[in-house]
Structure formats: C-alpha cells, structure tokens
Amino acid sequence: MTSPPGFQELAISTPPSDGPKRARMLDWDARVLYLGPAFGLTPHRNATGVLAVALDGAIGVANDPRARSPSYRQTRSVLIMPNSLHHLRIDAGRTAFLIVDPLGRDIEALRSRMKEVGSNAAFDLIDERSVVALFCDIAERRLASEHAQRAARDMLGIGSNPQPDARIAAAIKRMREEPGGSHTLAELSRKAGLSSSRFLHLFKDVTGVPLRRYRIWSRIGAAARAVAQGQSLTEAAHDAGFSSSAHFSTAFRDMFGMMPSELFARLRAD
C-alpha cells in the first residue's frame, strides 16, 4: 500500500563508533528524503528525479560519467533528472537526497528553483542557504515530522501535483499497491483501454521514465520500506516481485548506485 500522507519515519541509524553522524529516511507518499552519509556511489541512473544537497561540504558532479578519469564540477546542490546517467563524488559530511515521484510537477517545481538548468542536471538552488538550513533541522530533529513536511512543500513546491491522466494514475496506483504483481504492458494497457504503443507513450509522457524502469523502481521502494520496517531481505524481495534477494540487490545497485546492505547497515527500524 502507499504510504499515508505526511513524512513518515521509516528508519534511524545507530550512531557509528567513529563519530556522531546519524542517518534518517523519511517517506512521504512516493517521495523519500534520506539524510546522512553519502556512501561510495558508482555511476548509475535513477528512475526518479533526485535533488542532492550537501549539508556539510560540497558535491562533485562528473561532467562525463562514462570517462575513465572524469572531471567534476563542485556544487552544493544538484537536481539529477530521471533516467540520466550520473556520478556524484561526496568525500565527507552529510548529504540530503530528496527522491521524487516522476509525475512531472515535482521535477518542474524543483527545476524552477535551480539557477542553471540543463537536460540531465540542474545546479544551485536559488534559495540554497534556506534549503540547507531546513534539511539540517530535519536531520538533527529540530522539526517535528509534520512541520518538516509542510516546510519542504512550501520551500520546494513538491507534493501539490495536479491530477495526471486518470488511466496512467490508475496503473501507477496498482503498481504501488501490488508491487509483487506482474504488471505487464499487455495487462496495463488493456485495463487502461489503450493500445500498447499509446500506453507506453502516455506513460513516459506522464512519468518521465519508461514503464519498465518505473516498475523496477516501484518494486525496489516497496522492498526497501519492508526491510526498514523489520522484514527480512528475502521476504521483502519476494513480496515486492523479485525472484530472490540477490535479484533485488542487483536491481537496487543498478538503480541507486549502492548495495542495499550499505544502506540498511546504517538504518534500523525505529
């Protein structure tokens, strides 16, 4: 099932022995806010839009992620567009990753708040200092969850999407509520009353990503939430439609650039 309205605390890390850094993961419907160490990310694509904000330092964004020795642009905030190959280098400190549902409005709202907008990435939030301060307050628990939600919505313009095409919205709802279902193109297009080609075109028009990548992302999110809430990796992977925990781990790495074990090692059910 989809998450209830409002930021919901999914997990909180135990402080590592070498320092006081903590990690939080907050879930708001299809949006997720992670605050904490950035891990060693590899070049990858996300099926979603991701706003990365350095809370303590800077983010290096590879100019050409495919290059053997890429150069990196230093920034404090960057919006990575859906399905864009990228590599972020974050050497130290905490980072906020706001992962947004690719229904279009969130992406456009965030794009409008960046100083420099390109086809694959946008750089430097216009009100960057205020966003950094907000995310630091959330990371350090100076804001209650409902106040964090309201402040993020007001500052970033997310979470107020107009109704998308009802046929695509219904397909997305089914994928979220039944992540273990097959949700084939033939099945989804038939229920939408559309030809397969028209459904694929309209789905990508609405979400910004191909159907297959969105379906994988939806299943990954369902499995990750289940693990964060205490379910075993094997059970969560199977319930979300993966053939095995290894299949889930591979898909997770391909989508987010890290193994799920790296995330879950820092996060435990609250």
For residues 235-255, average pLDDT: 89
For residues 30-54, average pLDDT: 85
pLDDT tens, 44-97?
888 788 999 999 999 999 999 999 899 999 999 999 998 899 999 998 899 999
Say what the pLDDT of residue 88 is. 94
d(CA 36, CA 262): 12
Buried b (16+ CB within 10 A) or exposed e, 46-56: bbbbbbbbbbe
For residues 209-237, average pLDDT: 85
Name the residue with higher pLDDT: 270 or 68. 68
Say what the pLDDT of residue 21 is. 54
Say what the pLDDT of residue 91 is. 84
- Mean pLDDT is lowest, of 26-30, 42-46, 123-127, for 26-30
Say what the pLDDT of residue 32 is. 81
Say what the pLDDT of residue 199 is. 96
Say what the pLDDT of residue 194 is. 96
- Global pTM reads 0.74
